[in-house]
Chains A and B, each alone.
Chain A
Amino acid sequence: ATIRGMNPDLASHYTGAGGTFACITGGKKIPFERVNDDYCDCADGSDEPGTSACHNGVFYCRNLGHEPRLLASPFVDDGICDCCDGADEAKGKCGNRCLEAGAVHREALKAKIAQYEQALFTKAGYITKAANFKQELQLKAGTIAEDIAKQTEVVAKAKAELDVLEKAESDRIAAEEAKRAADAQAAEAALQAQADAAEAAKAAAEKAAADAAANPELATGADAHQERKLGEEAKPEHEETPEERGRRIASQWTHDPEAAGVPASNVEGEEGEDGEHHHGDYAQDQHHDGEEWHDDDHLDDPLSTDTTGTPLGEARNRAHQAQHDLDRLKKDEENIALFLRGNLNFGPDDMFLAFHDSCFTSHQTRWTYEACFFHKATQREGHQAPVTVGRWYGFSEDYKVAHFTGGDECWNVGPRSFSVQMSCGMENRMSDGEEPATCRYQAKLTTPALCTEAELDGLKEELHKLEEFEKEVREKIAKDEL
């Protein structure tokens, strides 16, 4: 007879040779009929693989069609179906759900593989882009100092020309202004004279009314009022309102103002879906197809249209353009310093360069967490000012955790800190922002950057095995071997 719950890998222990069973560890020997007799004899639980008699026994579910499972023996015959083949409970108690479970598992695996492939494609894009970006910088690095010097001269020249024209323009404007001011002053003086006369008349009327109304009763009332005022002022602080007191006491229990009695309205449907947004150079360029890596796009001309086409307007444009070109060169210089010579670690193949100047947000019921990689992380409640929960510190655990430290001070705890647990995922998505301990924040981030070929191969292998296995089981079921 088969031995219920026996792990096939351990079958050699359960041959019954010599009519005895040796506990797998500990050396104790018992008669073989004591195996699975619903009484625990072995300290390691090995004599009862198929009953719940030993607290530390292990029940093997074959789970054909799905995957085998080792089940702690307390779960055997407890009325709850744990193995998908139902073997852990009395016959008839549970149906066989293994093929269903297997199919679900198979489909999930397929979807996961597809996602993985997509993620690896994205990741490859990060790496290529980072390499191109760096290459571009390398090319510029040799001549940047010279280019800046040249452009600085261009700027100086353009500004000098502009200054001359501006001076002439401002002299003209000043003359016009002076005339306008003189006219206005005359008008003002006339108005003031009228107003003074009216004020004098009103004061005289009020004095007459007060004299008429004066009597002792009113005087007493005024005194009492005075006294009350003095009494109030004598108190060191203003009297707490009942609500303030309620809130203060509630805040002893938790510094979460929502938990401490915020009036009604639910903070639902607020802004701040979990997501990613970008600013600055590197990341933003990802959204552009152009070759320009540093198009900062801030050509917001401060000038009014009335100079357009005039010599002054053109001079202004020339000066602005020259300055703009210089700024771009300086930004190149900064980038060269930062990305080629700086000590920021962007990970293997610079893949996390993709995160430079990107911010990820995670919005929970009342808090929004924002992590700007290589910069800082914040926590914000509603529309209140954000609290800095940490500044960029670096990666750890083989780039699986990103740390932000030295954030705003937290009473009794010290500076706030924030860590992001990263794992492989289809897209860059931050979630589960929380505060597991006072002023220690964390969130999760999925990113294609952490997906690997090896894992994809593993998944494919798993799928292959699963499909083969399923085929086998179906054949067996067809031949009624199960």
Chain B
Amino acid sequence: FKDNEFKKCAQTSFCSRNRGVQQGQNFEIVPASLVLNTATLTATLSNKPASKTLQLTLTSHADGFVRFMVDELPGVGRYQVPGDVLVSGWETKKAAFKEESRSANQIVLSSGDARVELNFQPFTLAISVKGQPALQINSRNLFNFEHRRTKQDSDPAGYWEETWMSHTDSKPKGPEAMSLDLVFPGFQNVYGIPERATSLSLRPTNGAAPYGEPYRLYNLDVFEYLDDHPFGLYGSIPVMMAHKKGLTVGVFWNNAAEMFVDVVKPGRDTAVQWITESGIVDLFVFVGGSAPAVLASYAKVAGTTALPQLFSLGYHQCRWNYKDEADVKAVDGGFDEHAIPYDVLWLDIEHTNGKRYLTWDSSVFPNPIPMQEDVASRGREMVTIVDPHVKRDHAYYVFSEAEKAGHFVKNKYNNDFDGWCWPGQSSYLDVTSPAVRSWWAEQFTLDKYQGSTKHLYIWNDMNEPSVFNGPEITMQKDNIHFGGVEHRDNHNLYGIYYHMATAEGLKLRGSIVNPESGDRPFVLSRAFFSGTQRVGPIWTGDNAAQWSHLKVSVPMLLTLGLTGLPYSGADVGGFFGNPDAELMTRWYQVGIFYPFFRGHAHLETQRREPWLFGPETTARIRTAIRGRYAMLPYIYTLFRAANTSGLPILRPLWYEFPEAEELFAVDEEFMLGSAMLVKPVSAAGASSVDVTLPQGARWYDALTGAMVPPRTKSHRVQVTLDGIPVYYRGGNIVPRRERPRRSTAAQANDPYTLVVALDDKGEAAGSLYADDGRTFAFTRGDYLHRDFTFKGMKLTSTAHQEPGLPAGTLTLPLTVERVVFLGLPPARRGYKAVIGGKHTVPLEAGPLSMLAAQAENALVLRKPDLPVSHDWTVEIVAA
């Protein structure tokens, strides 16, 4: 990390002229301008000293949020995030405001559980939910809105031009920044605004360096990023969540320009100043009251996670670079030789002819199609990298076609922008243009992308965009996009648009190879924005083979889960540097819980395929990866919930235990869904770790099946190199597949195991989602979704119902081969199971899982052969 390569607030005109500057008292509501029209309140917001008026709009939406907008009055065409970044349809679903009261200086509205108090002079706004204060705007007088102006000789430096290092930003529109002053009253913890390598609960920004700088949202390619630092990385989601006992509230500022966010914690409150360079104020306040409700509401606006192909939830093996076809064959064979499952083999930039993406270096990949077909013959897939910089070479068809069609981003002189990246001189596709995106999507059909097959998927890197010789390694802000938009306005959208266009390409290809049901795209991206979840996964970029990077991966991924982008992962092993066997082992043991699970390594590191660290480490990594594959039915079911309801996959403890204040800042443990708790081991040589097990739940050691009492004061647990502490939470039924196949495809016909972990009431519930794992057929109901409940000593399977979705109609000829009960009270002569009211089978004492046959702490129903697609009941009775 080179601190001096990047700007700080003080070196940035719009930030330094607003940070901590009280201008909010200048703004007041003109009472006579107030118009309340069912769900919409409009008012004029006057900036008296500047003799300038703004339009304030407040809307109440049926999906659990209030939208607060401010723009200039009359409008001057300030930039707004285009509608296709978010989903459509939510705007019209409004919920009427009820006018509670109105006075000379105030109007009070309510909508559902939310109450909105708008004070006129100075302008402030306060929102409460279920009677609890949730959010105040401008209560610290830090609100500001810089209106467009004409250039004056007396204008301060930085208004119309700004130079940093060797780059001058011409700023033709002058200053147009905004500052939002948000206070979360009574909240001690706020979360969100990824991406940065820091704690889950955001630390105040008025502390010692580096926490004296505001958090920054500006997608950048940061070399060797530090692991405990507020600096913003490759992606930005302007979403923040605040949580306290009894209430969670979320905000989303739909704005794609550079942002700085200060967080301070005066008294019992958390106060935020949020400054952005351009655009408008478009703030969504999610008032559902709980974290799941906030996320569900946000998902109505930004969308839910696309249901990924099942293969993409398996293990991915990547390296910069697998050198040639023989190398690919050897690595693929290595997994079978060592009986380690994996699904996808990746090729980085060296596979191309001189970094001309969509081409192959024929000296090392002369026969890419047979290579892919060979890998696919064992049920596996491949991925190649495709980046948005296009080598300026007229002999390269992508460049010549794009240049001819005018598909590149322009510089301020309206010529094709010419920057430097991996291929040398490069131009950048202007993917903010819908026409460029459709053209780009067409490049992925099998006839167009030479050497590709339907088993080849795509990785988008460098889409911040990374420009090696640009300011802060990105594009000049006065570059020009489609529609004359300045790069400063939409910088944070470049990544999602490129990702979107590529995913559209794979969708298009999929609709050709499978006209009936299509093929779900798989495209990994590094840059992201709100809405990326609809497109594909992201990873946390160029981390390092250090324990601290393993550790920080957890809060980073938890934060992404809390901001609607749960399909994410960190490079297992760490990208830079050489991990030793212990770090490698521990990283895999945590990595199997990452929603996106990939090992990757830098060009100049030692080879590190899982079998290269000696037989003991190979065995441990094999156990870990097999553990991932055993969890896939559960993980895929969690992805379905993310897909339908916006729920996270990895969750902070407080998400599951929202009343336990001592958990609000815990980020050294996490939950996988609601059923499993994981404690990473992220220190060298650890022989024990401290584990917190929340009160109000029963916990079972996921290795031995032994019941473990809850302890909020963390207790010490001994660990060996063989595994990390993982627990089942009582009250859950978890579907598994315990045959460690070579790939997800090879698991398709395997039977299931159900782990029934009982709570204090002797009850449990869970579900299983399955479909073809590949196509869009599930959208028309070709899926299987079962709910399992255990209550009154009866285990039942029923069809899962979800309003607004077609009922699942898929029948799979698969069975449950084993039901494992944890926490059944001791019975003198044991138990037997009555299956379907007919035949009776005794429960046997056995291990929780045959994958690690430990103590026989479970009661096991052996081979009940329960059909997974049908309703059934199994009653447990004393023998």
Contacts and interface: CB of A to CB of B under 8 A. Distances in A.
A425 to B, nearest CB: 17
A253 B225 CA distance: 12
A261 B423 contact: yes
Contacts of A72: 339
Contacts of B422: 250, 259-261
Interface residues of B, number: 56
Interface in B787-831: 817-818
B424 A264 contact: yes
Given A254-B603, A256-B603, A268-B363, A43 B420 contact: no
Contact of A43 (B355, B469, B749, B847): B847
Contact of B223 (A252, A259, A438): A252
A55 interface: yes
Contacts, number: 124
Contacts of B224: 252
Nearest to A76: B739
B667 interface: no
Contacts of A40: 850
Contacts of B364: 365
Q: Which of A256, A259, A438 gathers most chain B CB within 10 Å?
A: A259
Contacts of A75: 336, 339, 742
A254 B604 contact: yes
Contacts of B602: 253-254
Contacts of B604: 254-256, 435, 437-438
A80 B469 contact: no
B742 A78 contact: yes
Given A43-B853, A365-B363, A263 B606 contact: no
A53 B420 contact: no
A40 B741 CA distance: 15
B421 A39 contact: no
Contacts of B469: 242-243, 245-246, 249
B425 interface: yes
Contacts of B607: 436
Contact of A39 (B223, B336, B818): B818
Contact of B739 (A52, A266, A437): A52
Interface stretch (B185-193, B346-354, B482-490, B679-687): B346-354
A13 B603 CA distance: 51
B403 to A, nearest CB: 16
B739 A243 contact: no
Interface in A415-444: 435-438
B862 interface: yes
A80 B166 contact: no
A291 interface: no
Nearest to A79: B746
Interface residues on A, range: 35 or more
A264 B850 contact: no
Given A243-B469, A245-B469, A437 B605 contact: yes
Interface string B282-306: 0000000000000000000000000
B851 interface: yes
A99 interface: no
Given A39-B818, A72-B339, A261-B468, A55 B738 contact: yes
Interface string A38-79: 111001000000001111000000000000000010110111
A279 interface: no
B601 to A, nearest CB: 11
B628 to A, nearest CB: 13
Contacts of A256: 603-604
A43 to B, nearest CB: 4
A379 to B, nearest CB: 14
Interface string A260-286: 111110101000000000000000000
B473 interface: yes
A55 B622 CA distance: 11
A266 B393 CA distance: 13
B855 to A, nearest CB: 11
Interface in A225-256: 239-240, 242-243, 245-247, 249-250, 252-256
A266 to B, nearest CB: 6
B379 interface: yes
A415 to B, nearest CB: 17
B378 interface: yes
B741 A74 contact: yes
Contacts of B437: none
Given A79-B379, A245-B468, A246-B419, A264 B606 contact: no
Interface in B353-383: 353-355, 363-364, 377-379
Contacts of B425: 243, 263
A435 B604 CA distance: 7
A437 B341 CA distance: 27
Contacts of B341: 74
A249 B422 CA distance: 10
A80 to B, nearest CB: 5
Given A75-B742, A80-B379, A240-B166, A259 B349 contact: yes
B421 A246 contact: yes
B606 A437 contact: yes
Contacts of A243: 420, 424-425, 469
A254 B606 CA distance: 14
Contacts of B363: 266, 268, 365
26 contacts: A38-B817, A38-B863, A39-B862, A40-B850, A43-B853, A75-B336, A75-B742, A78-B742, A80-B746, A239-B166, A243-B469, A245-B166, A245-B468, A246-B421, A246-B469, A253-B223, A253-B542, A254-B602, A254-B604, A261-B355, A263-B425, A264-B393, A365-B363, A365-B364, A437-B606, A438-B604
Given A55-B740, A254-B604, A261-B421, 20 more contacts: A40-B850, A43-B847, A43-B853, A55-B739, A74-B339, A74-B739, A74-B746, A75-B336, A78-B741, A80-B378, A80-B746, A245-B420, A245-B468, A246-B421, A252-B2, A253-B542, A260-B422, A261-B422, A264-B391, A438-B604
Interface of A: 37-40, 43, 52-55, 72, 74-75, 77-80, 239-240, 242-243, 245-247, 249-250, 252-256, 259-264, 266, 268, 365, 435-438
Interface of B: 2, 166, 223-224, 336, 339, 341, 349-350, 353-355, 363-364, 377-379, 391, 393, 419-425, 468-469, 473, 542, 578, 602-607, 626, 738-742, 745-746, 748-750, 817-818, 847, 850-851, 853, 862-863
- Leading 3 A-B pairs by shortest Cβ distance: A246-B420, A246-B469, A43-B853
